[in-house]
């Protein structure tokens, strides 16, 4: 849902950027329409799906193109964020999800067992390329007398290349998500790696509700949390056998705090509301 909302924001930015860049000009060498009526500009632009720039000189001003390239780089950064997530989830030690790996595919020429997140890594690398193009696009804005031609050589590279790279990583990302292999059991196992520590905040807040100050409660909970972590023992059991904590919470009360369902109890409305907005 985070991805979906973020991509929605990018769509609005991209619409504005495309609107900004969809202009043309036939206003002559200094923008005065000395040798051509504005109607000609209007017609030529219309044929190209462009609006005439409301005012121009020798060129269309480059803040438009810089904004466009920057929005592309920003979309790239989000795709990198998604790819970074997959790369983490695909680590051998985490393994909560994997890029689809077709039969017969080679993961690594030297190591027959490897299944690297190659698409995700490629998306990350190419997102860096887009950020580099964005830097170049910025520097093209402050032209001499608002119209020197120094931007031209750089734009011949960055405009097509940025569009191609973004198009490519969007489609890479699309395929990546479409075919992503997800391992819910492993997600559960990883949650449980913490010996129940993910419920520490529940315990903290319960102790506060029972009258302890936040500081006192924090100290009590942290002590057992660190013990659970360092000795790889069950957090709940440690809490239940701690006399100081037992003075405030019964074993049954403690038991009731370790509840996955409570974590999820307010998630549904988020989804419902966002999907309803469509």
Site for a copy of itself in 209-268 (CB under 8 A): 218, 221-222, 225-226, 228-229, 235, 262-267
- Please check whether residue 90 is in contact with residue 97, taking contact to mean a CB–CB distance below 8 angstroms: yes
Number of residues located near a copy of itself, criterion CB under 8 A: 117
Q: How far is the CB of 44 from a copy of itself (least distance, A)?
A: 16
Q: How far is the CB of 48 from a copy of itself (least distance, A)?
A: 20
> Phi, psi at residue 234, to the nearest 5°?
-70, 125
85 vs 246, which CB is nearer to a copy of itself? Answer: 85
Quote helix, strand, coil % in the chain, to nearest 5: 65, 5, 30
178 vs 215, which CB is nearer to a copy of itself? Answer: 215
Per-residue contact string for residues 174-203; x = within reach of a copy of itself by CB under 8 A? ----------------x--xx--xx-xxxx
Q: Which of residues 70-99 bind a copy of itself (CB under 8 A)?
A: 70, 73-74, 77-78, 80-81, 83-85, 87-88, 91-94
Q: Which of residues 101-120 bind a copy of itself (CB under 8 A)?
A: 106, 108, 110-116, 118
- Please check whether residue 206 is in contact with residue 253, taking contact to mean a CB–CB distance below 8 angstroms: yes
Q: Which long-range contacts (CB under 8 A, 24 or more apart) does 214-220 make?
A: 220/244, 220/245
Residue 91 has which token pair? 């680590």
Closest CA relative to residue 173, chosen from 29, 6, 16: 6
């Amino acid at each position: 849902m985070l991805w979906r909302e973020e991509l929605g924001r990018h769509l609005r930015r991209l619409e504005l950027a495309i609107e900004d860049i969809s202009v043309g000009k036939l206003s002559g060498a200094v923008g005065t329409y000395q040798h051509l009526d504005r109607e000609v500009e209007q017609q030529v632009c219309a044929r190209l799906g462009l609006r005439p720039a409301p005012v121009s000189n020798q060129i269309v001003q480059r803040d438009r193109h810089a904004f466009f390239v920057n929005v592309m780089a920003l979309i790239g950064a989000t795709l990198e964020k998604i790819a970074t997530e997959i790369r983490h989830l695909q680590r051998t030690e985490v393994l909560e999800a994997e890029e689809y790996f077709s039969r017969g595919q080679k993961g690594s020429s030297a190591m027959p067992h490897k299944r690297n997140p190659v698409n995700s890594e490629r998306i990350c690398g190419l997102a860096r390329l887009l950020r580099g193009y964005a830097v170049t696009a910025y520097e093209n804005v402050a032209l001499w007398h608002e119209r020197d031609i120094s931007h031209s050589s750089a734009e011949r590279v960055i405009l097509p290349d940025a569009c191609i790279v973004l198009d490519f990583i969007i489609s890479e990302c699309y395929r990546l998500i479409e075919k992503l292999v997800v391992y819910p059991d492993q997600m559960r196992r990883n949650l449980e790696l913490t010996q129940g520590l993910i419920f520490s905040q529940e315990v903290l807040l319960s102790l506060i509700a029972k009258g302890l100050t936040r500081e006192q409660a924090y100290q009590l909970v942290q002590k057992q949390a660190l013990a659970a972590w360092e000795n790889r023992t069950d957090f709940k059991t440690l809490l239940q056998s701690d006399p100081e904590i037992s003075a405030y919470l019964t074993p049954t009360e403690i038991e009731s705090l370790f509840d996955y369902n409570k974590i999820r109890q307010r998630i549904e409305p988020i989804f419902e509301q966002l999907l309803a907005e469509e």
